[in-house]
Structure 1
């Protein structure tokens, strides 16, 4: 970039210098080149001829210019008006003076105009055009603004993506659905013989970080065909018509390189429904979408052009895109289950040096709801921690700390917390753990800590499910709310006051209780009536109530009743275990961190020591 900047400055200064020379040539240089001319009367001219001072004479139509010896003794140029003097020629001849008659050339003023003004302007215009063209063609120059119809798609020729299905783990169903695309690109004759046509478009739908872009590159790597990659936002420009021009250029390149795969990431940027895109029915986004619809209708799938698109907002896509003949197939790329998380951890774990006793299955169990990107980050953070401590291998403790880092942030080792507040935090966390342990449908306690974290947490209780759950019963939901209420209940029982430490618990409990009433049909009042719709299941957007204000008030009352009932249950459990609560809280205050095994050992012992 520095070399490019210096080159551009050189061109700029060169053009300024040339323009300056032209201006000097047009205005100032002629003044220096013209000799000084002294006007005299005709009598003085004749006297100088008689005295032998005149050397050379030029006779024009209206004036006479001549060179004569001045009084100072050097030659000077003079000019005088021409008179009707028939004897002038004889005088000049007798005085042996060189003389000539100058006949004026026609159109000399026009030629001077061309030479002095028009030619410099043409040269300046040519230099400006040359400079502009160089700037546009230079990488990083002015040409890197709007590219005026170019698609800007990144092209990976054949196996240049460097990805295959071996790099994709935890998405077996998606890979199986895409294998048909790969097979068609390898053996199109099999499908043509039967008369089957491969889907023109495949829409990859799922939460962020689940590997939609990765699996698209893997399809190209397995197919060994050119791969065009572009994001939806690159089609949208401030100039009307540029997006449509880029769509045309992209499909033109695809047809020239067929068979190939075209991948459009963040597809919702151009595929948004035309009813919701804007109030103006003829905006840039709509023109781009219309051009995309036309191009998808215009090419033949038998040529081997497959359009892959990825989005995490499928609900806002235009219905015309999703009809058969355009995006025929919709493949969900969901969050991985326990087995999938283990496979993803293994893929990323192969890229770092893991200790022989590392249990990736335990890490997978501790990360429910994690995406592929989250798991890759956990492996990387574990490796960074190993380097930080001077180890050449990643230990189990490194990965466990990485899980906590992703969940709660870094430890605030230098944070100063008053002992009074620290004691309340210890009772709060033990309250969660004790209520969870005394219920049958809750996950096992894995770790309890009162070490503050950078996420704002002053402590937390981590629970790990022993088995993967795809459904949640009403009993499990109620027990989960009761566990969340355990921290606040412990504070009130022991200190007879409440703090702000339960804010996150209250938020989670309210969300679960509201979902039980409005979405899960776990309400005795409303039964299986749909009361709420989720706007986007992948981005965690807020839900929309589908009821009247009166019904919404009744929903709030039932949600409040569920939370109150759970709080009372948590309080009852802690009252029945007050001795154990005090002893565990004091132990946690001393150790600051307690493992799940240590916690369960204390519960099973007949006598608990502080």
Structure 2
């Protein structure tokens, strides 16, 4: 049934193709005819025979040619005809015309037509016009193709890039930090190598595998590595390339793609950003639109081909929740491979892969850099290595040192140093106390990450200064106490301004935003309040993108959520003020040191804190120094402005 339907669709498509070609040829012919007619009319002009005789009398003719049916007249320059070639009909009764021309000294001649052979006539009358039409058409439609994308005249041919056996140039050696994902795909590679082994026992290979994860984690790279390891042809294209100018072109491209793939089997088809065509059809009131036709054709093709031939479909998306359920059922995309953010060891391995072609100093510690980049994906880490190499070249060094890598991390997180922004002494002092407020609260509370760096050097991303915290090791669970202490640290900057200057500034806007988001998550998502207990009031959508929450409660409940969130914020703010008020002298001492040096590293900061034993309890310092803390729910480096 599938093959018969395909033939019917194909014949209908061929008819459309023939129709468009006819329209195209007619349009080109009309354009060429109009251009030719315009050129002929601008260069020649017909006159009356009496006007021709008057021109002979007035000596305005340079030369005359007699042809079979007309007289061609070449007027002299500076006449009223502006150097046009004139012609008039032959008047056989005028026997005295040669005498008139001789008397006026006008040369004349009889034009004898050349006798061309049949081959030359065929080339001139048929082949040459056809070539002109096609060249002009290609020019006109070629310009339109560039504007419209993959081509108006492609007529359903697939635009997949086809890499032959080893042309992807990528293997599993080039993919680091995704060991679980690689293990899930090894079975596909083994099947493509040893199809007979699986068919003998009756096992069938999953037709499709869906690679799911945040942007930049290496989904496309992983698909290329599968093709490189299997040494089979690799069809790669984006989901958006199926949607074309004409209705039905996307479905035709899907058919053409699978036909080519079955001819080259075993092979791998990779569809990037499949959500462009695979969105759920629930609630779609537009009916049979282009995207839905393309999706329906993709579903039928995945049902129609035999997986034992070795055609494997890989697809990538960072929005799996929007995909149509029919696309995810068994028999289509049977397997979901999670390509998530790498952990500490994975980040170190990724840094090693990207550092292969970069000259590193012997004392470079990539483990230290990986600790400084929790939450970073492969693309971020590659960018860090490249930024470090650029900085080394800028400073006329032959190799990358640890300082280059550390500065590259800060450039990616906060931007480059903004040296042209000069703060007044009053503003600079306010920024210094603000940042030391963050750092002191982090140092004096138990459930916080160690302070790595404090600086009041402005950055291009808008920060006038920042405090960087780096976790000792990664954790995947966060307690209520840890989240509350994080809120206290975020509000420590504003608290320091209030303690020292008894005023407020606009510098805490980003801190307030982060603290409010964390407090709201404690109430709505993590069930950390007595009032709502374990009731889920919000759910996370677009998990691999922005993670924006979706409300699951009434407007009345939402007002109570705001009250609970405000309660947590007030408690955190009060605790931060209490900690800093009890350690006012230490706050001033560290802030004065920061004003003097502009940047204080974590070791120096902790030595200053430990030196003030009379103002703080030793237990808090030791707990903070040896704290095995988390890297937040999203594994983001804590950067407090």
Consecutive aligned runs of 4 or more in structure 1 exceeding 4 Å deviation: 14-18, 24-32, 34-37, 68-76, 119-125, 136-144
Partner of 1:266: 273
Query: Which residue number in structure 2 is paired with residue 228 of structure 1?
Result: 235
Q: Is the 8 A contact 2:272 2:317 kept in 1?
A: yes
Please state how far the C-alpha of 1:145 moved relative to its aligned partner. 2.9
Q: Deviations over 1:427-484 (max 9, x none)?
A: 0000000000001111100000000001001111000100111010111101100111
DSSP-derived class of the 1:588 partner: helix
Query: For the Cα contact (< 8 Å) 2:164–2:233, is it kept in 1?
Result: yes
Aligned partner of 2:417 in structure 1 is: 411
Instruction: Tell me what 2:496 maps to.
Output: 490
Q: Is the 8 A contact 1:22 1:120 kept in 2?
A: no
Q: 1:585, CA displacement in angstroms?
A: 0.3
Q: Distance in 2 between matches of 1:531 and 1:402?
A: 40
- What residue in structure 1 maps to residue 135 of structure 2? 131
Which segment is superposed worse, 467-476 or 144-153?
144-153
Q: Does 1:321 align with 2:321?
A: no
Equivalent residue in structure 1 for 2:560, among 542, 554, 564? 554
1:19 equivalent in alignment to 2:33: no
Q: Does residue 1:444 correspond to 2:450, yes or no?
A: yes
What does residue range 175-214 of structure 1 map to in structure 2 within 5 Å?
175-214=182-221
Tell whether the 8 Å contact from 1:521 to 1:528 is kept in structure 2 after alignment. yes
Give TM-score, length-normalised by structure 1.
0.81
Mapping for residues 35-434 of structure 1, pairs under 5 Å: 65=93, 67-68=95-96, 126=130, 129-132=133-136, 134-135=138-139, 145-146=151-152, 147-276=154-283, 278-434=284-440
| Contact 2:586–2:612 (Cα < 8 Å) also in 1 | no
Q: Aligned equivalents of 1:247 and 1:224: distance in 2?
A: 24
1:28 Cα offset (Å): 4.7
Shift of 1:67: 2.4
Q: Secondary structure of 2:595's partner?
A: helix
1:298 deviation in Å?
A: 1.1
CA contact (8 A) 2:150 2:159 kept: no
Higher relative contact order (CA 8 A, sep 6+): 2
Q: Which runs of 5+ in 2 are unaligned?
A: 1-27, 55-90, 105-122, 615-641
Which residue number in structure 2 is paired with residue 458 of structure 1? 464
User: Is residue 494 of structure 2 the alignment partner of residue 527 of structure 1?
Assistant: no
- CA distance 1:20–1:490, shift in 2 (3 Å): same
Say whether the 8 Å CA contact 1:19–1:124 is kept in structure 2: no
**Cα drift, residue 133 of structure 1:** 5.1
- Partners of 1:532 and 1:330 in 2: how far apart? 25
> 1:86 maps to what in 2?
none
- Whole-Å separation in 1 of the counterparts to 2:551 and 2:40: 75
> Where in structure 1 are there 5+ consecutive unaligned residues?
1-10, 38-62, 77-118
Q: CA deviation at 1:124?
A: 9.5
CA RMSD of aligned residues (A): 3.1
Render the CA deviation track for 1:118-137: whole Å, top value 9, x for unaligned: x9998996455322454389
TM-score using structure 2 length: 0.77
Decide whether aligned partners of structure 1 residues 122 and 554 sit closer, same or farther in structure 2, where only a CA change above 3 A counts.
Answer: same
Task: State whether residues 446 and 463 of structure 1, in contact with CA within 8 Å, keep that contact through their aligned partners in structure 2.
Answer: yes
CA contact (8 A) 1:431 1:574 kept: yes
2:384 and 2:405 in contact (8 A); partners too? yes
CA-to-partner distance for each residue in 1:74-107, whole Å, 9 max, x for gaps?
Answer: 699xxxxxxxxxxxxxxxxxxxxxxxxxxxxxxx
Rg comparison, structure with higher value = 1
Q: SS state of the match for residue 215, structure 2?
A: coil
Structure 1 counterpart SS, 2:469 = strand
Change (3 A) 1:332 1:19: same
2-side partners of 1:454 and 1:566: how far apart? 30
Shift of 1:27: 7.0
Contact 1:136 1:144 in 2 (8 A): no
Per-residue displacement from partner, 1:270-297 (whole Å, max 9, x unpaired)? Answer: 0011125x43111111111111111111
Q: Separation in 1 of the partners of 2:543 and 2:101?
A: 105
Q: 1:360 to 1:20 in 2, by over 3 A?
A: same
Give distance in 2, aligned partners of 1:17 and 1:282: 41
The residue that corresponds to 1:479 in the other structure is 485
For residue 236 of structure 1, report the CA deviation from its aligned partner. Answer: 1.2
- After superposition, residues 532-547 of structure 1 pair within 5 angstroms as 532-547=538-553
SS at match of 2:491: helix
Structure 1 residue 606, shift from structure 2 partner: 4.6
Number of residues paired by the alignment? 529
Question: Partner residue of 1:574?
Answer: 580
Please say which of residues 200-209 and 144-153 is displaced more in the overlay. Answer: 144-153
Whole-Å Cα distance in 2 between the matches of residues 288 and 358 of structure 1?
51
